[in-house]
């Protein structure tokens, strides 16, 4: 700290971390229930906010009716305090109607401040206040200097929001959003240790993702199930969720929900389908970046390709309010796109337009289409970061063409040959343009998929190459959700499931509609022994992609997690559904045999067991089943499977 004279008055200055917090929609809350809002806000300050500020050595400078300004001697303490507050407040809001919840925005900056008695002033304070205004409800926004000082000291990742022009600050401020999952953080004070416990209640995680989805799911309460065989290995089962794979019938669609149907190819050349599909997929990704949007995944949207459609029926089937459809005509280097946005409830056209461009300007055209849709719905469009690299580095059109071909091939279900051909096309793209981020990401994705699907003859080489590709892709564009998803797959293939889960969380933070990452994250929570935390992620994946080619796998995981938690009624809701969706998946039949064995239904158990052995002869004994599952050898996951093996013994399967 130092002081100097200014106009005859001593001025004290020092460097400090400043946290600014504000209550979201404070005026509306007060208008609806003034006394109740004040009482709840007072309780939050007393029970959650003030104790954490004290714990992290903060000094509350001032309290306003709807916010606070706090000074910290350490920027790490400021960030940890902010994250703990947001996690605890999110937990407190569980079960409270959304329009009655008290939520905060928080901004953090480090800067030189002026002390005036107990108050503080200066640009350091002003920037913190502006950053708070940029934060999402329940979120934390920080300056670049904060990010630089804490990035290797806290277990969070940071989403780059770019340069922000803020009021009364001469220069733009580089802002970042702290990416964290409130449901995966502790919500109670632990005075003796700052280490985070990863355990949360199942229902808290469920409420979090129900809020993200913006829709309603049917919750069924069950009585407390029998204790599992290993009380140390398995947590106490709590509420479980039973739902259809699609949107609940009669429930209202989220206000900003949309499906992008595959655009029609009007070029007269079926070989151009890959090009048209690429435009469709990129528009799906761009629309996901509209704040508050809910966008159906491409894997479900493409089940309608080439079919006569009724937009009102699609709206009912998928639970969406809007349908985007259109056509693409490519003639040489020229591209014409017609697009129309339709109200799924009435069938009326909300907006329609035509766009002409050349092949080299596809990214700009797609951004324009997305922007027009956003304007038609009176929304604020978040910058399409997925095309930031293409704008800064003019992509070779032929490299883009190879990338689109590769992506279309990679997403075809099934055969190993598709992976090999996709990889070849991505390699061609990278020869023409080594900075083509999509090609880097999806080549890595193809290499890792070869390993996960047991196709690769050289898994170690595949994974090493994939890691190098992803390192380069993330250096070029750290905010590419698909890159973080692919890195999660890479870590999964290496058995580093907790790290993989963090990458999938990052992907979801960057693209809240990425169904693949929700599915993968749900599977990871099961693999590391936390099935009670898996269900919300799997349900959200099914909500985003109710006709996904992996639907049977997700239904199976829902059945499996209910089986190991002792929720046998729910397990028998999901496992037969999974068998109908994907009858070739042998482990579904085996798990169903175990469930019937536990329920004392020997005839059904024997029938399911016969189907499992027919598809995989290694299931002729429990030892064989254990050998098949040896890849996933986390101790908690191994302990969970004991209930499966007990059911198989009751079904008559020998140990050896």
| pLDDT averaged per 10 residues in sequence order, the chain, 656 residues | 48 80 86 86 89 89 78 90 92 84 91 73 82 88 88 80 70 83 62 35 33 30 27 27 37 76 87 84 79 84 87 90 89 84 87 79 71 62 42 66 87 78 93 92 93 85 95 88 93 88 85 90 84 88 88 91 91 93 90 94 94 91 83 70 91 91
Note the pLDDT of residue 211.
33
**Placement of tokens 């693999």 in the chain:** 527
Query: Considering Cα of 21, then 24, then 30, then 36, what sign does the dihedral take?
Result: negative
CATH architecture of 390-505: Alpha Horseshoe (1.25)
- Residue 30 to residue 46: CA distance in whole angstroms: 19
| Digit-coded pLDDT (tens) for 103-160 | 999 999 988 777 766 677 777 788 888 888 888 888 999 998 898 888 778 888 888 7
Question: Which pLDDT score is estimated for 293?
Answer: 79
Token couple for 253: 């669609």
Measure the CA–CA gap between 96 and 602, rounded to whole angstroms. Answer: 45
The position carrying tokens 């001032």 is: 62
Q: What is the DSSP letter of 436?
A: -
Which pLDDT score is estimated for 390?
Answer: 44
Distance CA 38, CA 234 (A): 41
**CATH class as words, domain 252-383:** alpha beta
What pLDDT does residue 154 have?
A: 82
Q: How far is residue 611's CA from residue 590's CA, in Å, rounded to a whole number?
A: 8
What's the confidence (pLDDT) of residue 633?
Answer: 64
**CA torsion sign, 81 to 82 to 85 to 88?**
negative
Q: Residues with Cβ < 8 Å from 292, sequence gap 6 or more?
A: 214, 255, 256, 379
- How much is the pLDDT for 549? 82
Q: Does the domain made of 12-184 have the CATH classification 3.40.50.2020?
A: no
Phi and psi (nearest 5°) for 109? -140, 160
- What pLDDT score does 649 carry? 94
CA distance 591 to 615: 13
pLDDT in tens, 264-277: 999 878 888 888 88
Question: How far is it, in rounded angstroms, from Cα 628 to Cα 258?
Answer: 40
Q: For residue 193, what are the contacts with CB-CB under 8 A and spacing of at least 6?
A: none
Domain 216-248+517-650 matching CATH 1.25.40.10: the answer reads yes
pLDDT at position 198, please? Answer: 33
Indicate the helix (H) or strand (E) that contains 104: strand 104-116
Q: Which residues make up the CATH 1.25.40.10 domain(s) of the chain?
A: 216-248+517-650, 390-505
Where are the CATH 3.40.50.10610 domain residues in the chain? 252-383
Q: How many CA atoms lie within 13 A of 364 on its CB side?
A: 12
Backbone angles phi, psi at 329, to 5 degrees: -125, 120
């Amino acid at each position: 700290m130092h002081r100097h004279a200014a106009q005859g008055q001593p001025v004290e200055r020092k460097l400090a971390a400043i946290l600014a917090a504000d209550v979201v929609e404070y005026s509306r809350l007060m208008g609806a229930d003034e006394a109740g809002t004040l009482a709840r806000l007072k309780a939050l300050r007393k029970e959650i906010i003030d104790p954490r500020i004290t714990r992290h050595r903060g000094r509350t400078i001032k309290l306003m009716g709807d916010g606070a300004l706090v000074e910290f001697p350490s920027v790490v303490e400021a960030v940890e305090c902010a994250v703990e507050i947001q996690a605890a407040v999110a937990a407190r809001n569980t079960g409270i109607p959304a329009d009655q919840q008290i939520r905060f925005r928080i901004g953090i900056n480090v800067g030189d401040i002026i002390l005036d008695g107990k108050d503080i002033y200066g640009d350091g304070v002003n920037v913190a206040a502006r950053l708070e205004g940029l934060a999402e409800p329940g979120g934390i926004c920080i300056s670049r200097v904060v990010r630089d000082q804490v990035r290797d000291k806290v277990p969070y990742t940071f989403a780059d929001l770019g340069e922000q022009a803020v009021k009364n600050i001469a220069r733009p401020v580089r802002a970042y959003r702290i990416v964290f999952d409130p449901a995966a953080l502790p919500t109670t004070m632990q005075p003796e240790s700052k280490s985070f416990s990863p355990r949360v209640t199942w229902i808290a995680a469920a409420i979090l993702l129900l809020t993200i989805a913006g829709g309603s799911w049917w919750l069924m309460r069950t009585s407390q199930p029998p204790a599992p065989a290993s009380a140390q290995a398995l947590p106490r089962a709590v509420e479980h969720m039973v739902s259809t794979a699609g949107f609940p019938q009669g429930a209202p669609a989220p206000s900003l929900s949309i499906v992008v149907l595959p655009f029609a190819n009007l070029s007269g050349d079926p070989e151009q389908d890959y090009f048209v599909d690429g435009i469709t997929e990129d528009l799906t990704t761009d629309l996901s970046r509209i704040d508050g949007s809910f966008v159906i995944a491409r894997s479900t949207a493409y089940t309608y390709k080439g079919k006569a459609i009724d937009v009102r029926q699609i709206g009912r089937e998928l639970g969406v309010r809007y349908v985007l459809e259109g056509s693409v005509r490519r003639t040489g280097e020229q591209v014409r796109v017609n697009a129309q946005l339709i109200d799924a409830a009435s069938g009326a056209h909300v907006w329609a337009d035509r766009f002409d461009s050349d092949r080299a300007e596809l990214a700009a055209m797609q951004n324009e289409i997305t922007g027009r849709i956003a304007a038609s719905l009176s929304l604020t469009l978040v910058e399409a970061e997925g095309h930031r690299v293409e704008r800064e580095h003019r992509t070779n059109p032929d490299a883009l063409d190879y990338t689109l071909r590769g992506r279309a091939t990679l997403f075809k279900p099934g055969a190993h040959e598709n992976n090999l051909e996709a990889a070849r096309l991505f390699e061609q793209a990278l020869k023409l343009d080594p900075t083509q981020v999509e090609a880097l990401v999806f080549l890595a994705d193809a290499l890792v998929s070869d390993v996960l699907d047991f196709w690769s003859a050289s898994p170690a080489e595949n994974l090493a190459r994939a890691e190098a590709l992803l390192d380069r892709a993330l250096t070029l564009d750290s905010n590419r959700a698909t890159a973080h998803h692919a890195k999660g797959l890479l870590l999964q293939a290496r058995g580093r499931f907790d790290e993989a889960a963090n990458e999938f969380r990052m992907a979801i933070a960057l693209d809240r509609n990425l169904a693949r990452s929700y599915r993968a994250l749900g599977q990871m929570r099961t693999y590391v022994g936390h099935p009670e935390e898996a269900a919300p992620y799997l349900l959200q994946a099914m909500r985003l992609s109710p006709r996904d080619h992996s639907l049977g796998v997700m239904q199976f995981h829902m059945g499996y997690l209910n089986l190991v938690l002792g929720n046998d009624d729910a397990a028998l809701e999901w496992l037969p559904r999974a068998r109908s969706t994907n009858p070739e998946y042998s482990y579904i039949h085996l798990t169903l045999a175990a469930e019937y064995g536990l329920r004392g239904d020997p005839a059904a158990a024997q029938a399911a067991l016969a189907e499992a052995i027919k598809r995989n002869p290694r299931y002729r004994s429990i030892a064989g089943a254990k050998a098949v599952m040896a890849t996933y050898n986390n101790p908690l996951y191994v302990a969970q499977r004991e209930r499966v093996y007990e059911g198989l013994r009751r079904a008559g399967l020998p140990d050896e």
